[in-house]
Copies of this chain bind each other. A is one copy, B any other.
Amino acid sequence: MTDDVPAAVRDGIAHAVLRALAKHGYAGLTTKKVAAASDKSEAALFYHYDTKDDLVVTFLEWAIERSTDRLTDINADDPLDELFTACEVLLGDTDDEVVRGINVAMMELLSHAPHNERFHTNLTAYERAEIETLADIIDRGINAGIFREVDSTATAAYLLMTADGTAGAVMALGMHDVDDMVRDRVFAYIESELVVEDGFED
C-alpha cells in the first residue's frame, strides 16, 4: 500500500516517474527504470509500491496536487487579476522543463484513460477540480460586480479546455506562435465577455 509513504519519499518518486516517463513513455516504463531515475533501489520502490501503475498514480496524484495548489494559492488584488493569473498558470510556462514534462506525461496518461480506470478517475477528478476552482474565481467576480452574470462553470470549462489544447500544441510540438496568439485571445475574451464595463452590468 502507498498510504503511509512519507511526503518527501513520495515527491522524490514522483519526480523519478516524471523523468522516466519523459524518457521511456508509459508503456516502456518499468520499476527498474524508475529506480534508475531516482536515488532508490528497485527493492526500496517495491517496499512502498506493488505495481508500476502504483508508481504512475503516485506521479499523477503529485502532478494534480501541484497544479491544483498553483491555482488555489494565487495572490491577487481582485477576481479579475486572479482569473488572469489562473489562466497564465493553466497555459503554463513553456520554458519550464518540469511543467513541459508534466504536461506531456499527463497527455500520454490521458490517452490511456479509456482503458485504465485509475488514470481515468484521477484525471477526471483533476479536470473537475480545475473547473471548480476557476468557476469559484468567476463567481467571486460576479458577486463583486466585476464580472457579468455568466454561467461560471461553463465559462470555466471553456477557459480550461482552451488551455488544455494549447498545452498539447505548445508543450509537445513547440508551436510558440500559437501559444502567444491563444494567450492574447484568452485575455481578450475575459475582458470582452466577462468584465462589466464601467462597473455596470450590460
A101's closest neighbor in chain B, by CB?
B114
Task: Point out the residues of chain B lying under 8 angstroms from A163, CB to CB.
Answer: 165
A108 to B115, CA, bound (A): 13
Question: Are B158 and A164 in touch, CB under 8 angstroms?
Answer: no
A105 at the B interface (CB under 8 A): yes
Residues of B within 8 A of A43 (CB): none
Q: Complex Cα distance A128/B167, Å? A: 15
- Contacting B at CB under 8 A, from A149-202, are 151, 153-155, 157-158, 160-169, 172-173, 175, 178, 181-182, 184-186, 189, 192-193
- The reply to whether B25 and A173 form a contact with Cβ atoms under 8 Å apart is no
In the complex, chain B residues whose CB is within 8 Å of the CB of A6? none
Interface of A is mostly: helix
Whether A110 contacts B173 by the Cβ 8 Å rule is: yes
A154 to B110, CA, bound (A): 27
Interface residues on A, range: 35 or more
Say yes or no: is A107 at the interface (Cβ < 8 Å to chain B): yes
A118 at the interface (CB under 8 A from B): no
The answer to whether A162 and B172 touch across the interface, beta carbons within 8 angstroms, is no
| Residues of chain B contacted by A112 (CB below 8 angstroms) | 25, 108
Listed by A's residue number, 8 A-B pairs whose Cβ atoms lie within 8 Å are A27-B27, A107-B110, A108-B108, A123-B173, A127-B175, A157-B181, A165-B168, A192-B192
Where the two chains meet, the residues of A that have a C-beta atom closer than 8 Å to any C-beta of B are 22, 25-28, 104-105, 107-108, 110-114, 120, 123-124, 127, 131, 151, 153-155, 157-158, 160-169, 172-173, 175, 178, 181-182, 184-186, 189, 192-193
